[in-house]
């Protein structure tokens, strides 16, 4: 039984290394080992983890340790930018996870349009509002926002492959560049602000 469990755990580690990379998995393992070594329950966990009669108790202790890692100051959420989300999307595409990549593309585009709107003191609270606002700025931006909504849907349907993601990357690169180069005169800014109720 112990050999079987150890083999399965080793196989799971190999799968994670294949998906996320050996260095990333090693960092996770080091973090877990560090927390475990500092725990007063270390010996108890080691003894009980492979004992069928005490496995649940060991799992409870391990879960408590994992919760400590997640709540540590080193795991406070990073403040992302559209570009950093774009880079993450590329990373997950490299791992072969098109589902997460498609969602990160949507996130990057969404954050970019929200940041742009906030500069005009416009608050957007819905997916439809993001698309309507993008169209109000320019048809090209609006059309691309429609494409990113498909990326968002692909997260739920899991229907995108690497070619779809690569196409979406080109759209996102254009989208971010276009947003950076948008030039609005005062009349256009005023008009967008006066119609802000449409983007809620």
Cβ-contact 144, 174 below 8 angstroms: yes
Mean of the per-residue pLDDT values of the chain? 84
Cβ-contact 116, 96 below 8 angstroms: no
Threshold 0.75, pTM exceeds: no
DSSP assignment of 77-120 equals: PP---HHHHHHHHHHHHHHT-HHHHHHHHHHHHHHHHHHHHHHT
Nearest to 103 by CA among 145, 157, 149, 155: 155
Lowest mean pLDDT among 49-53, 160-164, 174-178, 188-192: 49-53
At 133, is the pLDDT very low, low, confident or very high (cuts 50, 70, 90)? Answer: very high
- pLDDT at res. 141: 96
- pLDDT at res. 64: 73
At 68, is the pLDDT very low, low, confident or very high (cuts 50, 70, 90)? Answer: low
């Amino acid at each position: 039984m112990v050999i079987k469990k150890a083999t399965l755990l080793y196989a799971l580690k190999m799968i994670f290394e294949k998906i996320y990379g050996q260095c990333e998995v090693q960092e996770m393992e080091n973090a877990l080992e560090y927390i475990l070594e500092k725990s007063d329950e270390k010996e108890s966990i080691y003894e009980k983890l492979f004992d069928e009669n005490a496995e649940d108790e060991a799992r409870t202790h391990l879960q408590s340790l994992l919760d400590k890692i997640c709540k540590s100051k080193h795991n406070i959420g990073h403040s992302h930018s559209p570009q950093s989300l774009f880079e993450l999307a590329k990373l997950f595409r490299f791992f072969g996870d098109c589902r997460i990549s498609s969602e990160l593309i949507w996130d990057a585009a969404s954050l970019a349009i929200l940041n742009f709107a906030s500069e005009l003191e416009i608050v957007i609270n819905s997916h439809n509002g993001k698309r309507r606002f993008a169209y109000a700025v320019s048809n090209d931006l609006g059309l691309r926002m429609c494409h990113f909504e498909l990326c968002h849907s692909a997260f739920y349907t899991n229907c995108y492959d690497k070619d779809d993601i690569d196409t979406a990357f080109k759209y996102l690169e254009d989208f971010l560049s276009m947003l950076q180069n948008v030039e609005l005169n005062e009349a256009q800014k005023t008009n967008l602000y006066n119609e802000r109720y449409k983007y809620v």
